[in-house]
A and B are shown apart, each in its own frame.
Chain A
Amino acid sequence: MTDVVSPAPVHPAAPRFRHGTIEAALGAALLLAWLIAAFGAGVFAPYDPNALDLVAMLTPPDAAHWFGTDHLGRDVLSRVIYGARIDIWMGFAGVIAPLAVGVTVGLIAGYFGGLTDTILMRIVDITVAFPFFILVIAIVGVLGPGLVNYIIALALVAWVAYARLVRAEVLVVKRLEYVQAARALGFSDPVIILRHVLPNVLGSITIYAWTDAVMVILAGASLGFLGLGAQPPTAEWGVMIADGQPYVLQAWWICLFPGIAMVTLSLGFILVSDGLSRRLRVSA
């Protein structure tokens, strides 16, 4: 370029980070903090989460009990920290179980098509026709309250979203020429599905799964609140909020701190999901 003067650039300087990097990093930091808290609960928690101290019950936050104590004199901070173990476990298990079911069904339905597809997708339609939370509560009601049964209920109900998502992606990918090439090369269907289709449909599933974890944690806490999830005296955030509810006017801290914990953990998952989706969208 020589003497020609260009109009001022309309565009601001290129971003220093790739799109979504900041979100993903913030989310990962939040999650990492909670993971450290959960694994190191024995070290970080000042008290036994289930130790009763009837003398110090309903103590407001002070130097001895940073988050105060509940109606049985249990230390809220310790219970929040130990609760992370339950809620994080719930978040992961509650995503992986339906994901495994849904991805399998979606791959089979999308790849083979025809009658297989029709039958599987009608089962999906039927499952979707029931209100999600009511169905989960009904299944947990039949199986009996508890976290494991909650995860089983999720696997039975929440897989449909994954199945639909994966099937739609498979329908696109299986028309691509590398899948045709794999067929022409005489590879078996399982090889084509696992090696050539699955890795190329995982992107959007991963993004959805991180958001889904939030739903799983919130629904699990709600179930705990209703007495159908984790059982007292387990330190689980939903159970803690349920426990504190009768005292919420005198002792707000019993409900507030597990609530904040839940929000920050959820935020972590959401930020990671958001960051990943932006990054994948840009580089795709």
Chain B
Amino acid sequence: MSLVSVQGLSVTFASDKGPVAAVRNVSFDLNPGEILGIVGESGSGKSVTCRALLGLLPRRATVGGRILYDGRDLAGAAAIQAVRGREISMIFQNPASHLDPLMTIGDHVAEPLRFHFGLSAAEARAEALKLLESVRIRDAAARMDAWPHQLSGGMKQRVLIASALACKPRLLLADEPTTALDVTVQAGILQLLRDLNRESGLTMALVSHDLGVIAEICDRVIVMRGGEVIEAGLVRDVVTNPQHEYTRLLIGAQPGRLPQMAEPQEAPAGLFELKDVAVHFPTRSGGMVRAVDGVNLSIHKGECFGIVGESGSGKSTVARTIVRLITPTGGRVMFEGKSVGDLAGADLTAYRRAVQMVFQSPFDSLNPRMTAQQTIAEPIWRHGLASKSAAMARALQLMDMVELPRSFATRRPRALSGGQCQRVGIARALALSPRLLIADEVTSALDVTVQAQILRLLTRLRKERDLTVIYISHDLTVVRKFCDRVAVFQGGRLVETGATADLFASPSTGYTRDLIAAAPDMDQAMAERA
């Protein structure tokens, strides 16, 4: 018999514009001991479905259908409260915001034990220590009295898992548990979840936008889109033989399945030279953060240069230094024989036109008060390249170039999707006809299918406009497909650099090897599990 049976679940949210159906007639079963993956893109209803199981929806949600847990109907607050925490528990995407900063790690894990089982403080503490050890927190005894801010993101997620497992639940719901984490940390958490499942037969539902993650640890998968389940089955069957057209699209958009877009050059000519660049920030306590230290790089004309690294590796700082949003505290950035730091007046303006940047967050990178057309036109007339009306006309051409329908010209960012916002951002960056385009994590906030479109667009623009591109990403699989050469950063330092194919085939440092191994890739995961 299945542990959980969801029958005809529907969730509707009241809004100013009338009811919005977030989940429609969703039915699935969770068998004891399995890991079920729920995959879908933003707005597919996967998180809402997961939260509905624990009654964690906001008050304006109306829930229909039935949820049976172990044969019992979870209708009404009392029935849900009876299983919440004890039988079913949940972990979330952002571990930092789910830990109380004023409670120690030990207290976090001990609290559910005291609340649900009425253990004494000493008993709960002893039990908490065992739990922290079981989620592989090293030196758990010493960490019991640590505060959440003293732990890394991966450690916080482990603490959250430990407190979710405190009451020995039979079902663990994991809502994007590794999305906010670096790939190497993500690999560790996924390994932990898999071990918990194998060792104690813990049933899990793993919600993720990433088929690579699902493929690593799930037995079965359901694919959601627009609030409905469009396909369900064993992961192997769904990946190798998808039935629904959208599933095929989703699988085809996986970074590992993208076509090779890189074209290494024959005779490279230098464009940029970073010489011993360092960016140090003073901290409040009088120390020094070495965000970037001793970086030497050269970037060739017309190439696509990838910069990869985990959070805090200094990759974005390097980008901002090249654009001269940040002044390096040491070393020089050389562009066509001139030091960028010394540019002023007309030279600086010319440099600003030559080097442009596209940012990570689709919504934050556009002024919310300006329409798409105004945003794209502004740099043209502000730089005196055309009159305001001519610039507005040129903006429409740029919209064509980034494949954004002209009918979107008068829309503000709030009325655009993430991918459309990024297209506006790209058009704005291209408005001044730059020679170098820096793309800083431009697709990391986007769905994979949209990511594939944006990557294709950038590849086309690169060729058409003879652009040099610096592509910054945490996603090695994308970089492998998209970039000619790669530099790997760690802790503010350049670890290694080389032609993409060579670097991936034979990484020369242990760190690069770890990064490559940790990058989730659907096909690789399937091959390894076979």
Tell me the A residues contacting B by CB distance below 8 Å.
Answer: 1-2, 4, 6-7, 9-11, 13-15, 18-19, 176-178, 180-187, 191, 195-196, 199-200, 282
Q: Which residues of B contact A184 (CB under 8 A)?
A: 323, 325, 352, 355-357
**Shortest CB distance B236–A (Å):** 31
Closest chain-B Cβ to A138's Cβ sits at a distance in Å of 38
A176, B369: Cα distance in complex, Å: 14
Contact status A181-B357, CB under 8 Å: yes
Partner of B364, one of A4, A9, A176: A176
**B367–A6 touching, CB < 8 Å:** no
| Chain A residue at minimum C-beta to C-beta distance from B349 | A186
Q: Are B8 and A1 in contact (CB under 8 A)?
A: yes
A-B pairs with lowest CB-CB distance, top 6: A6-B64, A186-B352, A177-B365, A4-B8, A177-B359, A14-B14
Nearest CB of B to A159, in Å:
25
Contact partner, A178, options B323, B353, B364, Cβ 8 Å: B364
Query: Is there contact, CB below 8 Å, between A177 and B356?
Result: no
Kindly provide the distance from the CB of B265 to the nearest chain A CB, expressed in whole angstroms.
Answer: 26
**Complexed CA–CA distance, A21 and B175 (Å):** 36
Which stretch, B42-50, B54-62, B196-204, touches the partner chain A? B54-62
Q: List the interface of chain B (C-beta within 8 A of A).
A: 7-8, 10, 14-16, 18-19, 24-25, 59-66, 75-76, 320, 323, 325, 348-349, 352-353, 355-357, 359-361, 364-369, 378-379, 382-383, 425, 428-429, 432
Q: Is the CB of A180 within 8 A of B432?
A: no
CA A6 to CA B65, docked complex, whole Å: 5
What's the Cα separation between A74 and B113 when bound, in Å?
A: 77
The answer, among B25, B61, B364, B378, for a CB contact under 8 Å with A177, is B364
Q: Is the CB of A1 within 8 A of B61?
A: no
Q: How distant is B475 from chain A, measured CB to nearest CB, in Å?
A: 19
- Secondary structure at the B interface, as helix, strand, loop or mixed, is mixed
Residues of A within 8 A of B357 (CB): 180-181, 184
Tell me the minimal C-beta distance from B470 to chain A in angstroms: 13
Residues of B within 8 A of A18 (CB): 16
Can you show 15 pairs from A to B with CB atoms below 8 A apart?
A1-B8, A1-B25, A2-B8, A4-B7, A4-B64, A7-B75, A11-B60, A177-B365, A178-B364, A181-B425, A184-B352, A185-B378, A185-B432, A199-B367, A282-B16
Residue from A7, A187, A282 within 8 A of B76 (CB atoms): A7
Please name all residues of chain A whose beta carbon is closer than 8 Å to the beta carbon of B356 when the two chains form the complex.
184-185
Q: Which residues of A contact B320 (CB under 8 A)?
A: 180
B428 touches A177 (CB 8 A): no
By a CB distance below 8 angstroms, the chain B residues around A200 are 367-369
CB <8 Å contact, B62 and A196: no
Q: How far, in whole Å, are A176 and B368 apart by their CA atoms in the complex?
A: 11
Residue of A nearest to B25 (CB): A1
Q: From residue B322, how far is it (CB to closest CB) to chain A in Å?
A: 10
On whether the beta carbons of B425 and A7 are closer than 8 Å, the reply is: no
Q: Would you call A177 and B360 a contact (CB within 8 A)?
A: yes
Q: How far is the CA of A191 from the CA of B14 in the complex (A)?
A: 41
With CB as the reference atom, state the residue of chain A lying closest to B75.
Answer: A7
Q: Smallest CB–CB gap between A133 and chain B, Å?
A: 37
- The answer for the CA separation of A53 and B383 in the assembled complex, in Å, is 70
**CB within 8 Å for A186 and B63 given contacts A14-B19, A177-B365, A282-B16:** no
Minimum distance in angstroms from A209 CB to a CB of chain B: 19
- Contact in complex: B62, A6 (CB < 8 Å): yes
Q: Cβ of B61 and Cβ of A11 under 8 Å apart? A: yes
Contacts of B352 in A (CB 8 A): 184-186
Would you call A186 and B383 a contact (CB within 8 A)? yes
Q: Is the CB of B361 within 8 A of A177?
A: yes
Q: Which of A19, A185, A199 contacts B379 (CB 8 A)?
A: A185
Chain B residues whose C-beta falls within 8 Å of the C-beta of A11 in the assembled complex: 14, 59-62
Return chain A residues, CB-CB under 8 Å to B66: 4
**What residue in chain B is nearest A180 (Cβ atoms)?**
B325
Cα A187 to Cα B325 with chains together (Å): 12
Residue of A nearest to B379 (CB): A185
- Alpha-carbon distance A196/B382, docked complex (angstroms): 13
Identify the closest chain B residue to A9 (Cβ). Answer: B62
- Taking CB atoms, residues of chain A closer than 8 Å to B368 are 200
Report chain A residues within 8 Å CB of B75. 7
Contact residues in A for B378 (Cβ distance below 8 Å): 185, 187, 195
Supply 4 further A-B pairs (C-beta < 8 A) apart from A180-B357, A186-B352: A1-B64, A4-B64, A177-B360, A195-B367
Separation in Å of the B469 CB from the closest CB of chain A? 15
In the complex, which residues of chain B have a beta carbon less than 8 angstroms from the beta carbon of A199?
367, 369
> In the complex the two chains form, is A181's CB within 8 Å of B365's CB?
yes
Contact partners of B60 in chain A: CB under 8 A: 11
Query: In the complex, A180 Cα to B63 Cα: how many Å?
Result: 43
User: Closest CB of chain A to B423's CB: distance in Å?
Assistant: 14
Given contacts A1-B10, A10-B59, contact A180 B359 (CB under 8 A): yes
Contacts of B366 in A (CB 8 A): 178
A200 to B368, CA, bound (A): 8
Q: Are B432 and A10 in contact (CB under 8 A)?
A: no
Complex alpha-carbon distance, A191 and B378, angstroms: 11
Shortest CB distance A174–B (Å): 12
Q: Determine if B65 and A4 form an interchain contact, defined as CB atoms under 8 angstroms apart.
A: yes
Which residues does chain A contribute within 8 Å of B361, judged by CB atoms?
177
A248 to B8, alpha carbons, bound, how many Å? 72
Q: Which residues of B contact A187 (CB under 8 A)?
A: 378-379, 382
* Closest-CB distance, A261 to chain B (whole angstroms): 36
CA distance A183 to B357 in the complex (A): 10
Closest to A186 in B: B352
**A185 vs B366: C-alpha distance in the bound complex, in angstroms?**
13
Take A7-B76, A180-B359 as given contacts and tell me if A185 and B428 are in contact as well, using a CB distance cutoff of 8 Å. Answer: yes
